[in-house]
C-alpha cells in the first residue's frame, strides 16, 4: 500500500483524537484543517484499522452454560450468543460475536486458514478492519466454479483485506470429475505446497455444513440432491472445508471425497486453534460430528444450540453410567 499523502494525516488525527483524547475541533486547529475533514479522517482511520475498537468477549465465555459445554466436550473455549433478544436477527448476533472472537484470537505474524460458506462470509462481511502486520490468510479448500457470492476465494480475500494481510488463494476447483484427475492435481507443486502449508497455520476459521439439499455442495452443483441423500445413507454427517465427514468426524470413504481438493483433516487437526462457528440450529448433527472428530477447539454458537449440546452430553453420560 503506497503512502498517500493523506495517510500520514489520518494517522496523526487518529492519534491526537483517540490517544490524546482531544476534541475534533482541537485536532482540526492543530492540523490546520476543518473539523469536517477531521471527522472524515477519523472514519477512515476506523475503517482501515488504524484505530481498533474492540469489545471484550468475556461476557459470552463467562456464562455458566459456556463453561458446561467446554467441560462436556473438552473444548478450549466456548462463546454463547444469547438468543433471547436484543437484535433483530439472531444469526447476525452469532456472526458479530464470532468476528470479535476471531479478531481476539488473531495475533501478529499468524497464519490463518479459512474455509468457506455462508457463515464464514457473513463473518468476513461484518468483521471490523484491523491493521495486523505479517498475517497470512490461506484458503483451506479448492474453489467452487459456481458464481456464488461467497466462494471460497472470496471468503479468503475478504478476510485478508479486512486484516490488511496477505491472502493466499487456492487455484484449483474444489471437486473434480475423476479421482485420477484430483490425484494428479494434488501432486502439482503449486497445489501440493499450499496443502502442505495448511498444517503450519496458527488459527483456522470454519463452519460445518449440513448433509441435505440446502448444502452449498448441492446448490453449487458439486453434488445432486440424490447423491447427497445417498451419502447420508452411507453415514455422512457433515461437511467440513468441502469434505464429507461421518459421525465420528472422520472423512467418509466415498468417491466424492477422493475427488476433492482440500485440506486433509489431519492437517486441520494440526492447527493449534480451530475456531468453529455454527449459526443454524439445524446443524446439530454435523456439529457433533465435527467435535467428535476433534475438528474444533474454539466454538461460537447460539444459546439454543448450546442447550441441545448439553442435553446430548447429559444423555450420553447417563447412558455410559
Distance CA 186, CA 173 (A): 11
- Partner touching 39 among a copy of itself, DNA, none, CB below 5 to 8 Å by kind: DNA
The residue behind cell 472428530 is 293
6, 36, 59, 146: residue in contact with a copy of itself (rule CB under 8 A):
59
- Partner touching 64 among DNA, a copy of itself, none, CB below 5 to 8 Å by kind: none
- 202 binds a copy of itself per the rule CB under 8 A: no
Distance CA 1, CA 286 (A): 41
Distance CA 259, CA 261 (A): 7
- Partner touching 226 among a copy of itself, DNA, none, CB below 5 to 8 Å by kind: none
Alpha-carbon distance values, 115 to 16, 187, 248, 275, 293 (Å): 39, 21, 20, 11, 17
Burial of 1 per CB tally in 10 Å (0-12, 13-18, 19+): exposed
Which CB sits closer to DNA, 42 or 172?
Answer: 42
Is the dihedral angle over the CA atoms 153, 155, 156, 162 positive or is it negative? positive
Phi, psi for residue 86 in degrees, rounded to 5: 55, -75
How many residues make contact with a copy of itself (CB under 8 A)? 31
Least distance from a copy of itself to the Cβ atom of residue 72, Å: 22
Stretch that binds a copy of itself, among 70-78, 83-91, 144-152, 284-292 (CB under 8 A): 83-91
- 9 binds a copy of itself per the rule CB under 8 A: no
Judge contact between 261 and 176, C-beta under 8 A. Answer: yes
Site for a copy of itself in 108-137 (CB under 8 A): 131, 133
Least distance from DNA to the Cβ atom of residue 20, Å: 12
Least distance from DNA to the Cβ atom of residue 53, Å: 11
4, 86, 318, 320: residue in contact with a copy of itself (rule CB under 8 A):
86
Which CB sits closer to DNA, 39 or 220?
Answer: 39
Transcribe 181-229 into DSSP letters.
Answer: HHHHHHHSHHHHHHHHHGGG-SEEEE--B-SSTTSHHHHTTSS-HHHHH
- Partner touching 51 among DNA, a copy of itself, none, CB below 5 to 8 Å by kind: a copy of itself
Contacting residues toward a copy of itself, per CB under 8 A? 8, 11-12, 14-16, 18-20, 30, 45, 49-56, 58-59, 85-87, 93, 96-97, 100, 107, 131, 133
Amino acid at each position: 500500500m503506497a503512502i498517500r499523502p493523506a495517510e500520514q494525516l489520518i494517522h496523526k488525527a487518529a492519534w491526537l483524537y483517540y490517544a490524546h483524547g482531544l476534541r475534533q475541533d482541537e485536532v482540526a486547529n492543530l492540523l490546520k484543517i476543518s473539523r469536517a475533514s477531521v471527522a472524515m479522517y477519523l472514519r477512515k482511520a476506523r475503517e482501515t484499522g488504524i484505530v481498533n475498537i474492540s469489545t471484550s468477549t468475556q461476557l459470552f465465555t463467562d456464562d455458566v452454560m459456556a463453561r458446561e459445554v467446554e467441560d462436556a466436550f473438552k473444548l478450549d473455549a466456548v462463546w454463547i450468543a444469547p438468543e433471547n433478544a436484543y437484535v433483530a436477527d439472531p444469526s447476525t448476533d452469532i456472526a458479530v460475536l464470532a468476528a470479535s472472537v476471531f479478531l481476539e484470537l488473531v495475533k501478529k505474524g499468524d497464519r490463518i486458514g479459512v474455509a468457506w460458506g455462508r457463515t464464514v462470509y457473513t463473518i468476513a462481511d461484518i468483521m471490523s478492519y484491523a491493521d495486523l502486520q505479517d498475517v497470512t490468510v490461506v484458503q483451506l479448500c479448492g474453489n467452487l466454479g459456481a458464481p456464488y457470492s461467497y466462494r471460497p476465494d472470496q471468503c479468503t480475500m475478504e478476510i485478508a483485506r479486512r486484516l490488511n494481510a496477505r491472502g493466499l488463494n487456492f487455484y484449483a476447483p474444489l471437486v473434480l470429475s475423476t479421482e485420477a484427475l484430483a490425484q494428479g492435481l494434488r501432486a502439482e507443486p503449486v497445489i501440493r505446497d499450499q496443502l502442505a502449508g495448511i498444517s503450519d497455520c496458527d488459527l483456522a476459521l470454519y463452519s460445518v455444513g449440513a448433509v441435505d439439499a440446502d448444502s452449498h455442495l448441492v446448490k453449487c452443483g458439486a453434488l445432486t440432491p440424490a447423491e447427497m441423500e445417498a451419502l447420508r445413507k452411507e453415514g455422512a454427517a457433515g461437511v467440513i472445508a468441502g469434505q464429507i465427514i461421518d459421525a465420528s468426524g472422520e472423512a467418509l470413504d466415498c468417491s466424492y471425497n477422493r475427488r476433492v481438493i482440500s485440506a486433509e483433516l489431519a492437517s486441520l487437526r494440526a492447527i493449534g486453534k480451530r475456531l468453529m462457528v455454527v449459526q443454524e440450529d439445524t446443524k446439530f448433527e454435523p456439529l457433533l460430528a465435527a467435535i467428535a472428530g476433534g475438528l474444533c477447539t474454539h466454538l461460537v454458537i447460539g444459546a439454543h444450540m448450546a442447550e441441545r449440546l448439553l442435553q446430548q452430553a447429559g444423555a450420553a453420560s447417563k447412558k455410559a453410567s
